[in-house]
Structure 1
Amino acid sequence: MHSVYLDRFTDNNMALLLIEEFKKEILIDKSQLPEGSIVGTWFLVEIQNDLITKITIDSSKTKLMEQEIGNRMERLKSTKKSRFKRN
């Protein structure tokens, strides 16, 4: 099983998936995604002959990555102070 990220949807109803392990992109038809798939979702996939044979949502990794991004955003907001004085 490989970890895959749903990066975006294209204008022609295709989904761009990023395969983390191989640093590769795959375009598949949006209808092949599991129900409830949105941009930012992580999946576990089986790949044979460069084709995805099985795809399931990886809920735990999706939640983990959302929390990590949220934590990073909070740190950025809290350290964002101007070095310039206001008049």
Structure 2
Amino acid sequence: MEKAVIDRFEDQDLAVLLVGQSEKEYNVSRNILPNEVKEGSHLLIVLEDGVISSATLDEEATLEASNRIQSKMDKLREMKKMKRRSK
């Protein structure tokens, strides 16, 4: 199994995944993905002959990424508040 993240959805039925550390792009049909996924969801995928044959949601990795992003956003907001106060 390899790790992937959903970069974006195109049209109604196509998802663009970034796979592995090199973030190689793969286009896959949405119908092979779990229903609950969205942009930014992390997945565990099976690649067979360069084709993604299955995908499961990696809930732990998705939550960790979400928390990391939220923490960065909170820090940026705090820095912005501090700049306003110092003017």
Unmatched tracts of structure 1, length 5 or more? none
Residue 77 of structure 1: aligned partner: 77
- TM-score, L = length of structure 2: 0.86
Q: In structure 2, what is the Cα distance between the partners aligned to 1:82 and 1:35?
A: 43
Cα deviation, residue 84, structure 1: 7.8
Q: Is the 8 A contact 1:6 1:15 kept in 2?
A: yes
* CA deviation after TM superposition for structure 1 residue 30, in Å: 1.1
Higher share of residues assigned helix: 2
Give the whole-Å Cα distance in 2 for the aligned partners of 1:36 and 1:53: 18
- Equivalent residue number for residue 26 of structure 1: 26
Q: Given residue 46 of structure 1, which amino acid in structure 2 is its aligned partner?
A: V
Q: Shift of residue 13 of structure 1?
A: 1.9
Count of aligned residue pairs for this structure pair? 85
Preserved CA contact (<8 Å) 1:2 1:21:
no
Shift of 1:83: 8.6
Question: Which residue of 2 is the match for residue 4 of structure 1?
Answer: 4
Distance, in Å, in 2 between the alignment partners of 1:70 and 1:46 is: 29
**What TM-score do the two structures reach when normalised by structure 1?**
0.86
**Identical columns (%):** 29
Show structure 2 runs of 5+ residues with no match.
none
From the CA coordinates, give the structure whose radius of gyration is larger.
1
